[in-house]
Amino acid sequence: MQASPVSQSFAGQLIVGEGVAISGTLSIPGRVIIEGSLEGELQADELLVYPKGVVSAKVRVRTADVHGTTRQALEVAGYLCIRSTGRVHDRISCGEIEIERGGIVSGSVSFSGLPAEASASQASPAPEAENLPSFAQRLTGT
């Protein structure tokens, strides 16, 4: 049985839609997109927190793009971007950080992991918050 185009395009990803709350210990091989809320622990390759997204979890990822809120330790091996609407509360450990005007960090920041040159070359540019497609748009390709 062949996988559908939709399941192939989201293979290895987790999308938590707006209004959805999940909790637990999660290990995701690809990208995690949070429009709702997540509690517990998360290990993934990439994390994208939408403006209404809330992550109350210990997070370990390669790259993170925060438009919403995180409330526990955030460990990013490479590039972390906190957007103008982003709020990061608690300890941050990252290889490289960018904070847009208006972005808030409430807690400590330490640098470790990949050298800046390596993380910058591996990080893909993140979309601006106003250009982020909704889950329905991503699902239908519109």
* Per-residue three-class SS string for 50-87: CCCCEEEEEEEECEEEECCEECCCEEEEEEEEECCCCE
Give pLDDT, residue 32. 97
Q: Whole-model pTM above 0.75?
A: yes
Give pLDDT, residue 11. 85
Mean pLDDT of 85-99: 96
Mean pLDDT of 112-132: 52
Residue from 2, 15, 29, 13 nearest 136 by CA = 15
Residue 14 has pLDDT above 60, yes or no: yes
Contact between 49 and 71 (Cβ < 8 Å): no
